[in-house]
Amino acid sequence: MKKSALPDPFAAARLREGIGHMNDQGDPVTMILRLKDLRKTAHNYKTFQSGATPGRIVVPSEVNIRDTRQIPFELDPPEHTAYRAAVEAWFRRPLEEGYARALTRQIETLVDEVLQGDTVEVVSAFALPLQSRALTLLLNIPEAEADTWIAWGTHVFRSEGVALDGEKANILYDYIDEQIDRAIADPGEDLYSVLLASEVNGKPLTREEVRGVMILTFAGGRDTLINAITNSVAYFAEHPESLNRLRTEPEILNRAVEELVRYFAPLTHIGRVVTRDAEVCAHAVRADSRVSLCWASANRDAAAFDKPDEIVLDRKLNPHVSFGFSHHNCLGATHARQLLRTLVATLAEKVASIELLDHRDNVEDLDQFKRKVGFDSLTVRFHAR
């Protein structure tokens, strides 16, 4: 098997039962594995809620390391609708010409750098700087601020071998508090200041709510983008014909990015808390238990995708759920898509081939399943065209 391949560990259980089981810190999760069941569950926010105890719908649960509610992520309609509407326009800025231009410049600079160098450890020296610098655009702050975040390492919440690391989480929370203080003292045109000046239902956002949006913005786009970027580099290292094809057929760029995102499913799953005794896929789930929407499994559901375990670069119909489904579809998706489209186009333009020299897989332990989600490290050499 190729080193860039992400096997589907859910296939047998998805066909047989349609669900899986994970015991997460004594708060078990029933994982929903089929696309249709997942969509129905995601849509039914009254029975499968997001607005539970903060941190509980994340798997692994963050209940023990976080009290702040992530907004709009951990709310349900109608509250969710109002908060989402308040931040939506800001998170669509990546479509603006100036934003796209700045992102292209950042990515071209970084790709030029790695083409000059000898070997590159992609996770720490390519994906992390790329994700961090791009985040300064989303926050509308100076690019140099990315150096602070790069110094935190690849995971805000996770250390290698430790599922949850409260100390690392505190680094982020303390940092966000400092930045909110700064924005209160000296408002600018950054996201912190914009949120502090925003209103929902006629009332200004509270400091705690601003904190909640900022934690979501930092945490939601970090591991996910790092996985997507690193997996893309590994894929093109082993599929030089795909880089070639994107060079000669640039019109398939959008389809290629959606297909990579489907195949990688950078976030394995997200939970919901069950509000009343109910059923998923003909299995009973109890009130106050948890289910999860397993994007990674649904994206390989043969009922919806031909050749689900292959990357079909120009896949035309691709109803993947890597950015979620229904009310809570990913707030950062516009940014992520713009970043990945720019990255893939830049690699196709500038890179002739990528040598894969060394790798260490990042495998998630989901009890019943072990899922490779990307790499802890990936060492390559880029060759210029």
Partner 1 sequence: MANITFITTDGASTTVSGNSGSVMELARDHNIEGILGNCGGVCSCATCHVHVAPDDMRKTGEASEIERDMLELDDNADEYSRLCCQIVVSDAIDGVVFRVAE
Shortest spacing between CB 214 and partner 1, in angstroms: 23
Shortest spacing between CB 321 and partner 1, in angstroms: 8
What Cα–Cα distance (Å) separates residue 283 from each residue in 40, 186, 300, 380? 14, 54, 21, 46
* 252 lies in the site for partner 1, by CB under 8 A: no
Q: What is the total count of residues that contact partner 1 (CB under 8 A)?
A: 23
Contact residue for partner 1 among 318, 353, 377, 379 (CB under 8 A): 318
**Range 77-136, binding partner 1 (CB under 8 A):** none
Q: Is 326 left (phi over 0), alpha (psi -120 to 50) or beta?
A: left
Shortest spacing between CB 42 and partner 1, in angstroms: 9
Shortest spacing between CB 125 and partner 1, in angstroms: 30
**Range 288-307, binding partner 1 (CB under 8 A):** 304
Shortest spacing between CB 110 and partner 1, in angstroms: 24
Of the candidate spans 254-262, 274-282, 352-360, 361-369, the one that interacts with partner 1 by CB under 8 A turns out to be 254-262
Contact residue for partner 1 among 319, 353, 363, 377 (CB under 8 A): 319
CA atoms within 13 A on the CB side of 368: 18
> Both tokens of residue 14?
């998805």
Choice between 203 and 316, CB closer to partner 1 = 316
Choice between 160 and 310, CB closer to partner 1 = 310
Burial of 286 (0-12, 13-18, 19+ CB in 10 A): exposed
Choice between 167 and 306, CB closer to partner 1 = 306
Shortest spacing between CB 315 and partner 1, in angstroms: 7
Q: Which has the closest alpha carbon to 315: 376, 254, 225, 366? A: 254
Q: Where are the beta strands (DSSP E) in the chain?
A: 19-22, 29-32, 48-49, 120-121, 199-200, 203-204, 270-274, 278-280, 283-285, 290-293, 351-366, 369-384
Separation between Cα atoms, residue 53 and residue 62, nearest integer Å: 10
Cβ–Cβ under 8 Å, residues 354 and 299: no
Q: Which has the closest alpha carbon to 290: 92, 37, 20, 107? A: 20
* 254 lies in the site for partner 1, by CB under 8 A: yes
> Both tokens of residue 329?
């579809």
* 316 lies in the site for partner 1, by CB under 8 A: yes
Choice between 44 and 289, CB closer to partner 1 = 44
Give Cβ neighbours of residue 302 (< 8 Å, ≥ 6 apart).
308
* 207 lies in the site for partner 1, by CB under 8 A: no
Burial of 1 (0-12, 13-18, 19+ CB in 10 A): exposed
* 46 lies in the site for partner 1, by CB under 8 A: no
Shortest spacing between CB 311 and partner 1, in angstroms: 14
Q: What is the Cα gyration radius of the chain?
A: 20
- For residues 117-139, b (16+ Cβ closer than 10 Å) or e, as one string? eeebbbbbbbbbbbbbbbbbbbb
Contact residue for partner 1 among 3, 36, 155, 182 (CB under 8 A): 36
Shortest spacing between CB 204 and partner 1, in angstroms: 28
* 40 lies in the site for partner 1, by CB under 8 A: yes
**Range 324-353, binding partner 1 (CB under 8 A):** 326, 329, 333-334, 337
Of the candidate spans 47-55, 99-107, 190-198, 253-261, the one that interacts with partner 1 by CB under 8 A turns out to be 253-261
Q: Is 382 left (phi over 0), alpha (psi -120 to 50) or beta?
A: beta
* 258 lies in the site for partner 1, by CB under 8 A: yes
3-class DSSP assignment, residue 113: helix
Q: Which residues in this chain contact partner 1 in the complex, by CB under 8 A?
A: 36, 39-40, 43, 254-255, 257-258, 262, 304, 315-321, 323, 326, 329, 333-334, 337
